[in-house]
Amino acid sequence: MLSDIEQLARAFNCAERVLIITGAGLSADSGLPTYRGVGGLYNGNTSEGLPIEAALSGPMLQRDPALCWKYLAELGRACLGAHANAGHRVIAELQRLKPQCWLLTQNIDGFHRAAGSPDERLIEIHGQLAPLYCQSCGQLEHDLAACLEAQLPPRCRQCAGVLRPPVVLFEEMLPEKALDSLYQQIGQGFDLVLTIGTSASFPYIVEPVLRARAAGSFTAEINPARTELSATVDVYLPGKALDVLPELLGHISGDRICKSTL
């Protein structure tokens, strides 16, 4: 009888179209904070007594850009001080092995791209931290590190307008291009959907898994803690992505032939 990780490896080898969904838990192994759960960034209030969702919101960026940037800068410094880990690199290798392996990430750190995931099959649903752009004139600023070292909020060199990153803040709409790409791919169906390190708090994360289950496709989750998806997937693998993914790749590399005994 196959173990859970062997079942997932066999399903990957047999699949043609794959969707991998990643959340903050993957980058936590690089030293970045998670958003919810143990030690999560969003578990409590800020020093100003505000929910972090209010501090990191689109309306706050307009009303009090210095306060919003106080917490954007925390994320920015954490990302600049960390690097892609083995989990990111395994995912890039899985995409190399499968030309129709897509990656949907909630993370804004850019680590997937740095690890080698191809731009054309990477959907950054919450955007990314750089380059910054001016909200007044649109001028781009590529030196995020220099902006974070200067007085906050960072200002445009051309017009002195407030800069912002191309991320989705709370109370803002998701990027239309990313959504269109996601639902175009969901419409084509996936043979395997794998979630990694996400609390699965958003409908656009849960929906691909539920659609795959309804279509009879294989679904799996890698996460230290159980989520609302854990009971619905075919395989739940408890543990850190940094530990589980290299082991998974070992099974995939060692069994590249699709067999019918899933």
Residues involved in catalysis: 126
DSSP one-letter code for 141: E
CA distance 101 to 94: 7
As beta bridge partners, residue 222 has 196, 237
Q: Pull the structure tokens for residue 10.
A: 């066999």
Q: Pull the structure tokens for residue 141.
A: 């600023």
Which amino acid does the sequence have at 91?
I
Are β-strands 140-141 and 132-134 bridged in parallel, bridged antiparallel, or unpaired?
antiparallel
Is-contact 61 134, C-beta < 8 A?
A: no
Question: Strand, helix or coil at 106?
Answer: coil
As a dihedral over the C-alpha atoms of residue 139, residue 71, residue 200, residue 113, rounded to 10 degrees, the angle is 40
- The number of CA neighbours under 13 Å toward the Cβ of 207 is 11
